[in-house]
Amino acid sequence: MENETENYNVYGAYFAPLRSSDGVKMLVDGLDSDDMAVIPEHWLSYTAPPASAHTALALLYSFFTAAALIGNGLVIFIFATTKSLRTSSNLLILNLAIFDFIMMAKAPIFIYNSAMRGFATGALGCQIFAVMGSYSGIGASMTNACIAYDRHSTITRPLDGRLSRGKALLMIACIWIYATPWSLMPLFNVWGRFVPEGYLTSCTFDYLSNTFDTKLFVACIFTCSYVFPMSFIIYFYSGIVKQVFAHEAALREQAKKMNVESLRSNQNASAESAEIRIAKAALTVCFLFVASWTPYGVMSLIGAFGDQQLLTPGVTMIPAVACKTVACIDPWVYAISHPKYRQELQRRMPWLQIQEPDDNVSTGTNNTTNSTAPAATA
């Protein structure tokens, strides 16, 4: 009876009956008062998941982590050590790989929590996990928007649309600055806070507390980290599609008038093909970003403004897993679609059996006619 009274005082009347001796293990069983202070009340009434759920998630995250760290590590290494790949546009790809690397570098915290079946790393582990997730998630979203802008400028304005090195570095600096307040304000409880979610093995910003500040924070971070970059991505890639279709139609019409099959020389066709391949790779990465982060955005809106009963621990783990998927797929998309990156991988790691023709034709859009010019790798 003494224990039940203590539970009533610490956790509230609504929670004490759930800790009765009925043999049901609760999600928060075994946690001390310091840990309980950072857990939203929404999770207090849920029973603990089966051990198999923790094991399955730990194995899944282990696979994601290996794929992401190896893939993004290769991208960072190849792009940073290959002079021909250190172009202005590729700095954005490098920045995206760094954010994706950070996204999965925090996964060992989740894996350890899952192995221990709960909030094992405590508040400190939660803060580290969440701040790394915030920087990498927001940073990746804005980097994808900048990549879309770069591809749009290069393809729609081939003469003057190339990204300068100074402009690329400025964009990268702005991305990191942009992500900083959304990462540090919750960390220091200035606005919002980082809390455990789901099975209490991962952490994110608080979208469940029923306060005006929480609702305003969710609305603002959703707009700034999802709506803004999504709008830019849609605008720029729709412009690319429109330009490509218009260009192809004009070429076909002119060829028809001249009674020839095609107006392109082999060199120009190869150059344009490389540009389109790179644009397709960037478009695929941006699509993956949209598909991976949309469930999480919807979930946060439901938590702040909708029916929170829809958000069970198991349900909230699904968007959390989805948003990690893009971090491990991004580098492999570029490995498949980026010509110069594939050539460099082929040169350094011939055992991978990558069959990419060594094409010295320029893939830039600067109207060069020098067939030995280095290929642009934007």
pLDDT, mean of residues 314-328 = 88
Q: What pLDDT band is residue 181 in, cutting at 50, 70 and 90?
A: very high
Task: Quick: pLDDT tens for 256-302.
Answer: 777 766 655 555 555 556 666 666 777 777 788 788 889 999 999 99
pLDDT, mean of residues 187-212 = 96
pTM for the whole structure:
0.83
- The pLDDT of residue 55 is above 60: yes
Task: Quick: pLDDT tens for 343-376.
Answer: 888 888 888 777 766 655 434 434 333 333 223 3
CA distance 186 to 182: 7
The predicted pLDDT at position 38 comes to 94
The predicted pLDDT at position 333 comes to 77
pLDDT, mean of residues 73-88 = 89
The predicted pLDDT at position 193 comes to 97
CA distance 310 to 200: 17
The predicted pLDDT at position 264 comes to 58
Task: Quick: pLDDT tens for 208-253.
Answer: 999 999 999 999 999 999 999 999 988 998 888 788 777 777 777 7
Residue (of 217, 353, 337) closest to 288 by Cα position: 337
**Could you tell me the sign of the dihedral formed by the alpha carbons of 211, 217, 218, 219, in that order?**
positive
Domain ranges across the chain: 51-352
For residues 331 and 71, the answer to whether their CB atoms sit within 8 Å is yes
Q: What is the mean pLDDT of the chain?
A: 82
For residues 162 and 365, the answer to whether their CB atoms sit within 8 Å is yes
Question: Who has greater pLDDT, 358 or 145?
Answer: 145
The predicted pLDDT at position 366 comes to 40
- The pLDDT of residue 153 is above 80: yes
The predicted pLDDT at position 46 comes to 95
The predicted pLDDT at position 262 comes to 61
- Domain 51-352 CATH assignment equals 2.30.30.30: no
Q: What pLDDT band is residue 307 in, cutting at 50, 70 and 90?
A: very high
Question: Who has greater pLDDT, 365 or 105?
Answer: 105
The predicted pLDDT at position 15 comes to 36
Q: pLDDT over 70 for what percent of the chain?
A: 81
The predicted pLDDT at position 370 comes to 36
- The pLDDT of residue 131 is above 70: yes
- The pLDDT of residue 319 is above 80: yes
pLDDT, mean of residues 79-107 = 91
